[in-house]
Amino acid sequence: MDSNVQNTQQINEDNLIFDFMQKAAKIGSYEVDLIEQTVFWSKVTKQIHEVGLDYVPNLEEGINFYKEGENRQRITELFNNCIETGEKFDAEFQIITATGKEKWVRSIGAPVYNDNNTCIKVHGVFQDIHEKTKASRKLALNEERFRKIFEYAANGMALIALDGTWLQVNDALCEMIGYTSEEFLKLTFQDITHPDDLYSDVSLLQEMLQNKRDSYKIEKRYFHRNGYIIWALLSVSLVKNNKGKPQHFVSQINNITERKKAAEKNKLLLEVTKDQNTRLLNFAHIVSHNLRSHSGNLEMLLNLMELDLPEATENEFFPMLKSAVDHLQETVENLNEVAVVNTKTTESLTAENLFHYIEKSIDSIKPQILESNATFQNNVNKDIHIKGIAAYLDSIFLNFFTNTLKYKNPNYDPLVVIDAEIKDEYVVVKIEDNGLGIDLETYGEKLFGMYKTFHKHKDSRGLGLFITKNQIEAMGGKIEVKSKVNKGTTFILYLQYEKN
């Protein structure tokens, strides 16, 4: 084969390889002929600028592709300096392509001199580095964000080497543990960890290194520089390089010492409360049995004296003694009622039909209702069930209904309306009457107190509302009241909804 043909083929092959390399690397070439005042762009250079392959550039248009402002000014200075001093340039710029896209490029230029040492051309390469620059800038931004978060975080943060030494700590951690950053870098996390918490911490670190977990969170104790213990919530994650090889740990350390102290204080308070409850139960047992028995014995002895020693009853002190024993017996009975409520607070609640208990209580006082010419309207849905204690429900509704008759307004017949609605976890029961009402401004704070009465009725003991409130609260409910004197009263009962 002719050597000229071989040379031509070799040149064509070299050009193909060169074109391929330019496309793969997104590198084009350019040349500015200062004598002929012409500009040449390679195919890749035109593609980077997003112009057609038939586009014929000139120097002014080429410069104007650079983003207006700093980028355009800098390429102009570098290009002119290259011509005047012969200094090469290699810099990154932003250009605006023919389609309006903003793109990062790298432009390299070098002068070409003639025999008279006059610059006649500037040629160089032009590379699309947009994706690489965007990625590196994003990485730099993320690193800057992490640095700021790390430095200014309110909680302690640290970078820890795989061997446990501290690589970097923030000010919050220094303040929390008491060491300076320089002192930290001479320690390992093992040095300041409470020995009882070290095993679990190290075990979890090993699991991360073995790819069994990506992170972990534990509560642990550190020793402050001054010797006392700091409770912390530690969150740890493992940083790996792009090949998946572990590099270091990132730790976030929140001081929870005050929370732990509060929890310990609450625990002690619960123990004290439990002890007090036990004593109250013992007191309730004494009230229910011992005092009741003793007061009963006293009453029985007085009765025997009246039968067997009637002359002793003529003593002027006997009537006073008998009256005192009667009052004691009444007080013990009242205390017993209260004690019964307080000793049943742990009894299991069962599902009970609300309508049934209201109707049952109304039926049980039918004679009083007829005598008072009263009207009871039970508007409660027959399908509503609450969680309660049967004996308490009987007592609660019976007490409210008898009170409405006991404290009726003498000017008109009693009317009692009972409604109920489901509201969140409660069934809200409203018992509204048109009776005498209660002066809440005067008696509001005392309304549910023991031995508190608000009307002059001879059979008022001041225990009904007190016991009723205790029974409702024992079932996990609460009670409210609205009332106006001579207008009536509305009691609002919050009872636990059975479906809650």
* DSSP conformational letter for 290: I
Whether the pLDDT of residue 383 is over 90: the answer is yes
Bridge partners for 179 per DSSP: none
Structure tokens at 252: 């976030």
3-133 matches 350-496 in fold: no
Kindly report the average pLDDT of the chain as a whole number: 82
Domain 3-133 CATH class label:
alpha beta
Q: With beta carbons less than 8 A apart as the criterion, state whether 247 and 199 touch.
A: no
* DSSP conformational letter for 67: P
* DSSP conformational letter for 17: H
Minimum mean pLDDT range among 14-18, 143-147, 424-428: 14-18
Query: Per-residue confidence at 332, pLDDT binned at 50, 70, 90?
Result: low
Q: Residues 242-255: what's their mean pLDDT?
A: 88
The pLDDT of residue 42: 92
Q: Where are the beta strands (DSSP E) in 246-404?
A: 246-255, 350-353, 375-378, 385-388
Place of tokens 């092959």: 13
CATH code that applies to domain 142-255 = 3.30.450.20
Higher pLDDT pick, 19 / 422: 422
Minimum mean pLDDT range among 42-46, 230-234, 314-318: 314-318
Helical axes 464-474 vs 318-343, angle rounded to 10°: 20
Whether the pLDDT of residue 402 is over 70: the answer is yes
The pLDDT of residue 272: 79
Structure tokens at 255: 């001081």
Per residue in 255-308, pLDDT (tens digit) is 999 998 888 888 888 887 777 766 766 666 666 566 667 777 777 887 887 787
| CB proximity list for 286: less than 8 A, separation 6 or greater | none
Whether the pLDDT of residue 478 is over 80: the answer is yes
The pLDDT of residue 100: 93
Q: With beta carbons less than 8 A apart as the criterion, state whether 401 and 358 touch.
A: no
Minimum mean pLDDT range among 66-70, 189-193, 438-442: 438-442
Q: Residues 385-393: what's their mean pLDDT?
A: 86
The pLDDT of residue 18: 42
CATH code that applies to domain 350-496 = 3.30.565.10
94: nearest Cα among 123, 133, 125? 133
Higher pLDDT pick, 483 / 275: 483
Q: With beta carbons less than 8 A apart as the criterion, state whether 408 and 377 touch.
A: no
Minimum mean pLDDT range among 159-163, 186-190, 275-279, 469-473: 275-279
The C-alpha atoms of residue 124 and residue 193 are separated, in whole angstroms, by: 61
Query: Per-residue confidence at 50, pLDDT binned at 50, 70, 90?
Result: very high
Query: Per-residue confidence at 11, pLDDT binned at 50, 70, 90?
Result: very low
Global pTM reads: 0.41
Query: Alpha helix locations (H) across 348-477?
Result: 354-364, 366-372, 390-406, 440-443, 464-474
Whether the pLDDT of residue 344 is over 60: the answer is no
The pLDDT of residue 398: 86
Minimum mean pLDDT range among 129-133, 267-271, 357-361, 442-446: 442-446
Query: Per-residue confidence at 444, pLDDT binned at 50, 70, 90?
Result: very low
Percent of the chain with pLDDT over 70: 80
Whether the pLDDT of residue 10 is over 50: the answer is no
Longest dimension (CA), the chain: 162
Strand order from edge to edge, sheet including 488-496: 375-378, 415-423, 426-433, 488-496, 478-484
Query: Per-residue confidence at 310, pLDDT binned at 50, 70, 90?
Result: confident
Whether the pLDDT of residue 91 is over 60: the answer is yes
Residue extents of the structural domains in the chain:
3-133, 142-255, 261-343, 350-496
Q: How many CB atoms lie within 10 A of CB 65?
A: 21
Structure tokens at 274: 């439990």
C-alpha 293 chain-centroid distance: 55
Give 3-state DSSP helix, strand, coil % of the chain, rounded to 5.
50, 25, 25
The C-alpha atoms of residue 332 and residue 284 are separated, in whole angstroms, by: 11
Helical axes 292-308 vs 318-343, angle rounded to 10°: 150
Q: What is the β-pairing status of strands 156-160 and 246-255?
A: antiparallel
Structure tokens at 500: 């809650």
126-159 burial string, b = 16+ CB within 10 Å, else e?
bbbbbeebeeeeeeeeeeeeeeeebeebeebbbb
Query: Alpha helix locations (H) across 153-244?
Result: 171-177, 181-184, 189-192, 195-209
The pLDDT of residue 454: 44
Q: Residues 351-368: what's their mean pLDDT?
A: 89
Higher pLDDT pick, 124 / 454: 124
The C-alpha atoms of residue 250 and residue 244 are separated, in whole angstroms, by: 16
Structure tokens at 36: 């002929």
Q: With beta carbons less than 8 A apart as the criterion, state whether 335 and 286 touch.
A: no
